[in-house]
């Protein structure tokens, strides 16, 4: 199962033959790691066959030499199983120098290497669900302690056809973990012939980020998606799945039969918004706003968002919320990105430059003053 | 030499001239070697330019250390920051390019190199490469592409980008001249190759005036479908 593979909860077999040749030929940067890296690189690459020949993102953790290995496999690194594997490898590869293994210690809590630069932070993102789907909106300013590193960075990233995620925190962390999440969701979809629900995706992301709790990784994402029920048609190809939710939704409106099927599977279809944070928080709700500009966005959203609103209203409210946040928050600004997720998938609204909006607002204010006098 | 990082302050620039307070001396694995890199993408060309000064603190180590590295016939990367990490990173990228070429029987495209570099950089999330990268090249359709990175792998495609020590000075100028930002009632003409090269030369001359880590010479790599052409222009040596 994909979730188990990712979390390393079952012990994979050590040398399945079909993946053995692949495992050696990746990550030449193993050889450039500091002392002990070569050995650990060896040990790590022989552990790979169990993962089905994947080449995961290998993290180099700058930790003291006595810490035996640092294979970060996107999920739980059960250090005890890793250690036993190392011991087994020692028997099979007597040429490797034997390492005396201390009891497993957790990953370092504080970064041991002080960075000479700052990473990008500061944003306003929001996501909310209503009767017409889910709206995800964000500003586009990427700041780096005072300098605008990028005025046009995309902060709402589509993960798959029916799921988008807003990103807040360090932009590199968010971009890479979204990529990893898309990959894992796609693998799940291929293995299980259905899309993973938003809740499942949130859980997966949360579990993948858990080993990095306490490090300086900073990801605060709002996953906004539409869960569809595709079991009824049992079609093997995922392209057709994109169409079935629409049929399902209209069918369930008209007949009670598909609704019964939905209930019997105890899976709820429809829009979902879930907030996932790298410190381990995972919350489901109807409305979230994340980032330095979120207090300003919340004030607009809390007063105007209600379940029965129309798509135009929802779009206008989201845009206004981001605009007000950029107005007051120094670290948010530039443009607004808006995504609307429905049963048919996500649709992206044209990126709007808020500079024009400031001038329009000034014009409105001027007209109001003229009328007042 | 990477001693006394504390005295150098946050980004490697020396803190104060007559600093008299307590200083904590600690080994830092990073050093700041200066340099500025710039890349511009046009309709059917891309430019990657860098100065050639290698400095550290108050000294200049070399006047002939360009920061552009040719990766393929359609892609050039500019790396500035810590020279040691630049060298290792380019070595790794070249090795990965060769591996790709041998296993897939074709060269990597600019977009693919950018995506690969992002994962290479993120693999060192907890001990980053102190390098500001900018990739310039042609995409599959022959249009110019610029990909700018931060030290831990966040990247996106741009039309122009400046990175390195003088980036904060150059980027607003590029925003104005190439992006036509904050200009009213202006006719937005597409950038020709000659105009782009002249603009890059002017911009670096300005940078050399005001940034101590930029100067000596400018190397421009012009990438077109014919290949990569290099031009060297002298800059201030003081």
Tokens 């993408």 found at: B41
Q: Which residue has the higher pLDDT, B94 or A12?
A: B94
Confidence of residue A229 (pLDDT cuts 50, 70, 90): low
**pLDDT of A14 above 80:** no
- Chain A contact for B114, CB < 8 A? no
Å between A302 CA and nearest CA of chain B:
32
Question: What's the angle, vertex CA B222, arms to CA B220 and CA B223, rounded to 5?
Answer: 145
pLDDT the model gives residue A57: 59
| A282 has pLDDT over 60 | yes
Residue A47: its pLDDT value, please?
33
Angle between helices B167-177 and B193-210 (to 10 degrees): 150
Q: What is the percentage of chain A residues whose pLDDT exceeds 90?
A: 25
pLDDT at A245: 43
Inter-chain contacts counted by CB atoms under 8 A, chains A and B: 91
Tell me whether A12 touches chain B (CB under 8 Å).
no
Contact: B123, A29; criterion CB under 8 Å: yes
Instruction: Give B23's contacts (C-beta < 8 A, 6+ positions apart).
Output: B4, B6, B7
Q: Which of A3-7, A27-31, A176-180, A367-371 has the lowest mean pLDDT?
A: A27-31
B104-135 per-residue burial string, b: 16 or more CB within 10 A, e: under 16: eeeebbbbebbbbbbbbbbbbbbbbbbbbbbb
* Nearest chain A CA: its distance from B153 CA (Å): 6
**pLDDT grade, residue A144 (50/70/90)?**
confident
pLDDT at residue A8 in the model: 46
Judged by average pLDDT, the poorest of A30-39, A62-71, A207-216, B221-230 is A30-39
A227 — contact with chain B (CB < 8 Å)?
no
Contacts of B12 in chain A (CB under 8 A): 116
Confidence check: pLDDT of A51 > 90: no
Of A39-53, A286-300, B181-195, the range with the highest mean pLDDT is A286-300
| Contact check, Cβ <8 Å, B126/A111 | yes
CA atoms within 13 Å, Cβ hemisphere of B25: 3
Split at pLDDT 50, 70, 90, the class of A118 is: low
Give the integer Cα–Cα distance in Å for B144 and B148. 13
Residue from B126, B132, B170 whose CB has the most chain A CBs within 10 Å, to mutate: B126
Q: Find the mean pLDDT for residues B49-63.
A: 93
What backbone phi and psi angles, to 5 degrees, belong to B174? Answer: -65, -40
Q: List pLDDT tens digits, range A180-207.
A: 999 999 999 999 998 899 999 999 999 9
- Chain B's closest residue to A216, CA to CA, is B126
How far is the C-alpha of A22 from the C-alpha of A39, rounded, in Å? 18
Please say if the pLDDT value at position B126 is more than 90.
no
Residue in chain B closest to A33 (alpha carbons) equals: B124
Smallest CA–CA separation between A62 and chain B, in Å? 6
* B53 secondary structure, DSSP code: -
Distance between alpha carbon A79 and the CA centroid of its chain, in Å? 25
Closest residue in B to A175 (Cα–Cα):
B154
The 3-state secondary structure of chain A reads CHHHHHHCCCCCCCCCHHHHHHHHCCCHHHHHCCCCHHHHHHHHHHHHHHHCCCCCCCCCCCCCCCCCCCCCCCCCCCHHHHHHHHHHHHHHCCCCCCCCCCCCCCCCCCCCCCCCCCCCECCCEEEEEECCEEEEEEECCEEECCEEEECCCCCEEEEECCEEEECCECHHHHHHHHHHHHHHHHHHHHHHCCCCCHHHHHHHHHHHHHHHCCCCCCEEEEEEEEECCCCCCCCCCHHHHCCHHHHHHHHHHHCHHHHHHHHHCCCCCEEEEEEEECCCCEEEECEEEECCCHHHHHHHHHHHCCCCCCHHHHHHHHHHHHHHHHHHCCCCCCEEEEEEEECCEEEEEEEEEHHHHHHHHHHHHHHHHHHHC
Write out pLDDT tens, residues B132-169: 999 999 999 999 999 999 898 889 998 999 999 999 89
- Catalytic positions of A, written as ranges: 123
Token output for B116: 């690969």
Whether the CB of B168 is below 8 Å from some CB of chain A: the reply is yes
- How many angstroms separate the CA atoms of B136 and A98, rounded? 46
Compare A46 and B66 and report the one with higher pLDDT: B66
Lowest mean pLDDT among A107-116, A146-155, B140-149: A107-116
ipTM computed for the complex? 0.79
Tell me whether residues A117 and B130 touch, CB distance under 8 A.
yes
Kindly state the average pLDDT of the residues B193-215.
93
The shortest C-alpha distance from B226 to chain A (Å) reads 31
Task: Give residue A58's pLDDT band: very low, low, confident or very high (50, 70, 90).
Answer: low
- Could you tell me the sign of the dihedral formed by the alpha carbons of A96, A51, B121, B64, in that order? positive
Residue with structure tokens 């009328």?
A: A371
Residue A242 contacts B where some CB pair is shorter than 8 Å: no
Buried/exposed code over B210-228 (b: 16+ C-beta within 10 A; e: otherwise)? ebbbbbbbbbbbbbbeeeb
Does the beta carbon of B183 lie under 8 angstroms from any beta carbon of chain A?
A: no
Q: Which residue has the higher pLDDT, A43 or A349?
A: A349
- pLDDT value for A88: 44
Greatest Cα-to-Cα distance within chain A, rounded to the nearest angstrom: 92
**Residue A20 pLDDT greater than 70, yes or no:** no
Average pLDDT of chain A? Answer: 69
- Judged against a pLDDT cut of 70, whether residue A303 lies above it is answered with yes
Sign of the C-alpha dihedral computed for residues A171, A176, A177 and A183 taken in this order: positive
The single-letter DSSP state of residue B106 is S
pLDDT at residue A266, as a whole number: 52
**Confidence (pTM):** 0.72
Cross-chain Cβ contact B124/A60 below 8 Å: yes
Mean pLDDT of A358-367: 83
**Residues 122-161 of chain A whose Cβ lies under 8 A from any Cβ of chain B:** 142, 144, 147, 149-150, 152-154
Q: What is the DSSP string of B138-204?
A: E-TTS-EEEEEE-TTS-EEEESEEEEETTHHHHHHHHHHHTS-TT-SS---PPPPHHHHHHHHHHHH
pLDDT for B108 equals 94
What is the reported pLDDT for A116?
Answer: 63
Quote the percentage of chain B above a pLDDT of 70: 93
3-state secondary structure of B38: strand
pLDDT of residue B159: 92
Adjacency order of strands within the sheet including B227-234: B160-164, B36-41, B46-51, B217-224, B227-234
In order of A20, A22, A23, A47, A94, the CA distances from A16 in angstroms are: 7, 11, 11, 10, 20
pLDDT at residue number A330: 86
A213 touches chain B (CB under 8 A): no
pLDDT in tens, A305-361: 999 999 989 999 998 899 899 889 888 888 889 999 998 889 888 777 777 777 787
Residues 6+ away with beta carbon under 8 Å from A83: A68, A101, A104
Q: What is the mean pLDDT of residues B186-196?
A: 86
């Amino acid at each position: 199962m994909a979730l188990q593979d990712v979390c390393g909860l079952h012990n994979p077999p050590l040398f399945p033959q079909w993946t053995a040749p692949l495992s050696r030929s990746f990550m030449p940067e193993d050889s450039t790691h500091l002392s002990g890296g070569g050995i650990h690189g060896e040990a790590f690459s022989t552990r790979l066959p169990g993962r089905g020949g994947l080449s995961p993102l290998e993290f180099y953790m700058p930790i003291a030499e006595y810490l035996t290995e640092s294979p970060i496999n996107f999920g739980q690194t059960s250090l005890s199983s890793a250690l036993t594997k190392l011991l087994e490898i020692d028997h099979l590869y007597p040429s490797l120098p034997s390492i005396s293994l201390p009891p497993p210690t957790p990953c370092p809590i504080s970064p041991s290497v002080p960075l000479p630069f700052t990473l990008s932070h500061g944003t306003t993102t929001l996501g909310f669900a209503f009767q017409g789907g889910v709206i995800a909106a964000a500003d586009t300013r990427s700041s780096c302690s005072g300098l605008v590193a990028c005025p046009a960075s995309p902060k709402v990233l589509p993960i798959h056809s029916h799921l988008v995620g807003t990103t807040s925190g360090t932009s590199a962390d968010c971009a890479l973990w979204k990529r990893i999440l898309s990959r894992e969701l796609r693998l799940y979809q291929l293995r299980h012939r259905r899309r993973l629900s938003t809740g499942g995706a949130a859980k997966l992301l949360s579990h993948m980020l858990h080993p990095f709790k306490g490090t300086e990784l900073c990801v605060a994402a709002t996953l906004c998606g539409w869960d569809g029920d595709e079991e009824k048609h049992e079609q093997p190809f995922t392209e057709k799945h994109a169409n079935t939710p629409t049929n399902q939704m209209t069918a369930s409106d008209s007949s009670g039969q598909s609704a019964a099927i939905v209930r019997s599977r105890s899976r709820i279809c429809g829009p979902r918004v879930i907030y996932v944070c790298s410190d381990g928080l995972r919350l489901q709700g109807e409305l979230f706003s994340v980032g330095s500009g979120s207090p300003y966005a919340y004030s607009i959203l809390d007063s105007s968002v209600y379940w029965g609103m129309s798509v135009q209203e929802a779009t206008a409210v989201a845009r206004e919320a981001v605009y007000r946040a950029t107005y007051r928050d120094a670290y948010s600004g530039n443009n607004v990105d808006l995504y609307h997720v429905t049963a048919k998938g996500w649709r992206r609204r044209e990126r709007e430059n808020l500079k024009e909006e400031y001038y329009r607002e000034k014009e409105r204010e001027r007209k109001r003053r003229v009328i007042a006098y | 030499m990477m001693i006394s990082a504390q005295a150098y302050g946050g980004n490697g620039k020396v803190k104060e001239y007559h600093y008299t307070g307590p200083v904590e001396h600690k080994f830092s694995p990073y050093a700041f070697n200066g340099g500025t890199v710039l890349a511009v993408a046009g309709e059917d060309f891309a430019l990657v330019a860098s100065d050639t000064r290698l400095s550290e603190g108050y000294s200049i180590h070399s006047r002939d250390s360009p920061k552009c590295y040719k990766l393929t016939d359609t892609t050039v990367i500019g790396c500035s920051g810590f020279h040691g990490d630049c060298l290792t990173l380019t070595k790794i990228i070249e090795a990965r390019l060769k591996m790709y070429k041998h296993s897939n029987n074709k060269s990597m495209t600019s977009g693919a190199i950018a995506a690969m570099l992002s994962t290479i950089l993120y693999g060192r999330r907890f001990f980053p490469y102190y390098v500001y990268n900018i990739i310039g090249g042609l995409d599959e359709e022959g249009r110019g592409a610029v990909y700018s990175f931060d030290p831990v792998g966040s990247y996106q495609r741009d039309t122009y980008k400046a990175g390195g020590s003088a980036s904060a000075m150059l980027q607003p100028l590029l925003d104005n001249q190439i992006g036509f930002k904050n200009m009213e009632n202006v006719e937005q003409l597409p950038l020709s190759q000659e105009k782009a090269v002249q603009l890059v030369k002017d911009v670096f001359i300005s940078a050399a005036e005001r940034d101590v880590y930029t100067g000596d010479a400018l190397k421009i790599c012009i990438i077109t479908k014919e290949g990569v052409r290099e031009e060297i222009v002298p800059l201030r040596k003081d």
